[in-house]
Amino acid sequence: MDLNKTGKAVSTPLLFLLEYGFKFLAGVAAAIALAAKGSFFEKLGAAVGSLLPAIQQLTNAPAQAAYLGQVIEDYNTMTAATFNQRYGGQAINNLLDQLNEGVAYFQAIYQNLVQQPFATIFAALLIFLVLYLLGRICRFTRQRGQGSYVNRVERRLGDRVFRSSKQPGPDQRDNLKQIY
């Protein structure tokens, strides 16, 4: 196998994962920056520094949501004695703690938007754009600046459908400008 083909076979999936990883992290980091306390730079630092713990929490979220859903269902369907026997007294406390974390997050965003609206919005916007642009750079590199296969087919189809021989395309317009 050719070394160039091997490099492409390895780099394409890696760049794909990096692209979507950066795009996902852009939203997570922006959400962290919205709720972070402090100045503009402290918000940026908190967003970058909290990415790994946030990802760990997000990976546990589906299992935790399923467990909390089961606790809520059992609370509504079981007797108090059966519920306490199965879950103990901590199940409801854990549920309320989770709800309290969500409320505290939205209160922190509200406080930041009221007290430091520009720093909060610009920090979230900047961290989002930086990470999203890193994802777009990975995509551009992976596709070698040519766009995806679907994108190229759409362009060709659009040229066939919407451009007749009477309407010059972009390349033909440049040639006409040079002639006249």
Mean local confidence (pLDDT), 104-113: 93
Q: How many CB atoms lie within 10 A of CB 8?
A: 12
Has residue 9 got a pLDDT over 80?
A: no
Higher pLDDT, 164 or 86: 86
Closest CA to 128 of 26, 33, 2: 26
Q: Where does residue 164 fall: left (phi above 0), alpha (psi -120 to 50 degrees), or beta otherwise?
A: beta
Nearest residue to 27 (alpha-carbon basis) of 132, 135, 110, 136:
132
More reliable by pLDDT, 106 or 79: 106
| Residue type at 119 in one-letter notation | A
Nearest residue to 84 via CA among 95, 73, 74 = 74
Mean pLDDT of the chain: 83
Average pLDDT over residues 150-172: 72
Between these two residues, 8 and 81, which has the higher pLDDT value? Answer: 81
Work out the pLDDT band at 169, boundaries 50, 70, 90.
low
Domains in the chain: boundaries: 3-147
Position 88: which residue type? Answer: G
Please enumerate in sequence order all residues whose Cβ is within 8 A of that of 94, keeping only pairs 6 or more positions apart, or say none.
68, 71
Confidence check: pLDDT of 111 > 90: yes
pLDDT for 180: 46
